Amino acid sequence: MVDEDKNDESFGIEVILPDDGKKGPPCPHGPTLLFEKVCAGNKAGRRFYACSACRDRKECNFFQWEDDKVSEARRLAREAEYRSKAPPFSQQQYRVRFRKVASQDDKLFCKDCQLLLLSDEHLAHGAHKVIRVNVSQLRRPTALLRPLESKKSNAQYLFTDRSSHFLLDALAALGYRKVLCVGTPRLQELIKMRNLEGNHETMESLLLDIDFRYAQFYSKDEFCLYNMFNHHFFDGEASNQVLGAFLKEADGQKVVMVADPPFGGLVKPLASSFTQIAQTWKKLQSPDSASTDLPMIWTFPYFFEPRILESLPSLVMLDYQVDYDNHPMYKQGKVGRKQTPVRLFTNLPPKDMVLPKEEGYRLCSKCERYVCSQNKHCAKCNVCPSKDGREWKHCATCDKCMKPSWKHCQTCGRCALPDHPCTTETGAPAGCFNCGSLDHKRRACPQKDGRRVKMSGGKPGKNKNKKKNNNNKKKNLAPQPRFKHKASHRSGAARRTRKDAAAAQMK
Ligand SMILES: C[S@@+](CC[C@H](N)C(=O)[O-])C[C@H]1O[C@@H](n2cnc3c(N)ncnc32)[C@H](O)[C@@H]1O
Ligand SMILES: [Zn+2]
Ligand SMILES: [Zn+2]
Ligand SMILES: [Zn+2]
Ligand SMILES: [Zn+2]
Ligand SMILES: [Zn+2]
Ligand SMILES: [Zn+2]
């Protein structure tokens, strides 16, 4: 997969989802996606296929130009390679193993292999870290399994109790009794635990996730190995049937989907997969409910709002701040860059999603939705404008509410961060190309040695991505665009790293 946030107005890589639904050649993660390098002036570049799920070549290095002819021998060799990468056991085998382990006195789990062990397998894992587990640990696989934190594929960040209990309470209060958990293993786990406790209304759940380790803990009706970037079920038709049976609302049991994809993921393919799930749901409903859509909640960072709404316009972003146990930054209640940027996007009526009063959320009667404490209604814009949880200010010149850190710039004629590089109407740098000063042009720059100097965030003289790009060229791999933050590109200022750019979005 290719980074979406590397897209740039003048140079970037875009994913193409063919109207006819034509699938790309397979990699170990199912059909690959078609990408296109976009050049200045929207000139189409050469298209290529790459993995839908992994953005790190070390995890999946599939690459094929769209017009490449692949020989039969090469195709067969690829298939053999993929088979060797498949999970070590089938779902059925995992289930049999689980039952055996659960009935053993010594319930063992190999941390190195991330596998529950049968009693006669202990010796074979003698050199590994093997631990004893109890029945309640078997019910909490998200606590037992090591989270796969690779940012470039799994990004397995687990909900805090606060977030998972809030989600489940809110959905139960709205009458949902079946939760389709797409990439939300902790939610599935909580549903099962609550069912056992018996204090809550029983709920059903089905987990769709690419992490095959979960197959050890759940039956085939509770877990399907699934790739949410290409709507691919690794078990094919069998999983399709499981999904169909789950989505059918027998006895009036209402279904809701909750998805928490890896944050680096591409929005368009995700939206396409969720739409396909919604279409399957729709086909299974009675004709009188045919006008409604599958209720869904998609958790994702707030700065993806425009892209998500472009793909799924029926969704609305809620102010609720989703936080994670194992993410150092994404903690609720902090401010600025330390605050969690993850929000809920949903087609449920926002006024029905009651956000916790004790955390400061309140109902804005004008917007008819719950907002966070700092999100004050602006009479001029007639909305509660804040996206990031801070109090935004109305700019009379722009006639719009802006982030508190932004100031109106007379040169640019718009609001921006105070240390932004100014541009003219055409987007060209307004000041010095070298240091960004508005007092002189590059020719007269006092920085005589011609080296660019740091303007905001970027490290002068360093460009890690440029180096990476050269490497790619050398190996004739997929074109990787040099990452340029839009503002720094236009200004010609020192280029920023990806981390700087993400941080800038949150300023
Ligand atoms: C950000 S975590 C969400 C976990 C969730 N917050 C929870 O606590 O249950 C992303 C989840 O999506 C799964 N995942 C990552 N890539 C996936 C893919 N291509 N298809 C399906 N699931 C994927 C990961 O295994 C992980 O469970
Ligand atoms: Zn792949
Ligand atoms: Zn082992
Ligand atoms: Zn309001
Ligand atoms: Zn306003
Ligand atoms: Zn302004
Ligand atoms: Zn300016």
Length of the chain: 507
Beta-carbon neighbour count of residue 417 at 10 Å? 16
Residue 328 exposed, middle or buried by CB count within 10 Å (0-12, 13-18, 19+): exposed
Ligand 1 atom with minimal separation from the 229 CA: 19
User: Tens digit of pLDDT for each residue in 73-97?
Assistant: 999 999 999 988 889 999 999 999 9
Nearest CA to ligand 1 atom 9: 184
Q: How far is the CA of 9 from the centre of ligand 7 (A)?
A: 19
Q: What percent of the chain has pLDDT over 90?
A: 65
Q: Which two tokens stand for residue 381?
A: 């814009």
Question: Ligand 1 test: best mutation among 1, 257, 260, most atoms within 8 Å of CB?
Answer: 260
Q: What spacing in Å lies between the alpha carbon of 384 and ligand 4's midpoint?
A: 4
> From atom 5 of ligand 1, which residue's Cα is the shortest distance away?
184
Residue 498, burial from CB neighbour count under 10 angstroms (0-12, 13-18, 19+): middle
ipTM: 0.98
Cα–Cα distance measured from residue 331 to residue 297, given in angstroms and rounded to the nearest whole number: 20
Q: How far is the CA of 360 from the centre of ligand 5 (A)?
A: 22
> If DSSP codes are grouped into helix, strand and coil, which group holds residue 109?
strand
- Model-level pTM? 0.84
CB-CB contact of 147 with 194 (8 Å): no
Question: pLDDT tens across 408-461, in order?
Answer: 999 889 999 999 988 766 666 666 767 767 677 677 777 755 444 443 333 333
CA 429–ligand 7 middle distance (angstroms): 10
Per the model's pLDDT, the better-predicted residue between 148 and 220 turns out to be 220
Tell me if 260 sits within 8 A of 184, measured CB to CB.
Answer: yes
CA dist 83 and 90 (Å) reads 12
Name which of 216-220, 221-225, 258-262, 434-438 the model is least confident about.
434-438
Read off the pLDDT band of 248 (50, 70, 90): very high
Nearest ligand 1 atom, CA 158? 8
Task: Using the atom order of ligand 1, give the atom closest to the CA of residue 52.
Answer: 19
Contacts of 163 (CB under 8 A, 6+ apart): 322, 323, 324, 332
Atom of ligand 1 nearest to the CA of 164: 8
Count CA atoms closer than 13 A to 377's CA, side-chain side: 11
Ligand 1, pocket residues at CB < 6 Å: 53, 153-159, 183-187, 209-211, 226-229, 260-262
Q: Coil, strand, or helix at residue 370?
A: strand
Which ligand is nearest the CA of 423, by number? 7
- Over range 43-61, report the average pLDDT: 88
Alpha helices in 198-266 (DSSP H): 237-247
Closest CA to 114 of 99, 130, 126: 130
Long-range contact pairs involving 65-74 (C-beta distance under 8 Å, separation at least 24):
66/34, 70/25
Structure tokens at 81: 């390679």
CA of 389 to the centre of ligand 1 (A): 25
3-state secondary structure of 45: strand
Neighbours of 441 (CB within 10 A): 13
Distant-in-sequence, close-in-space partners of 155: CB < 8 Å, separation ≥ 6: 148, 149, 262, 263, 264
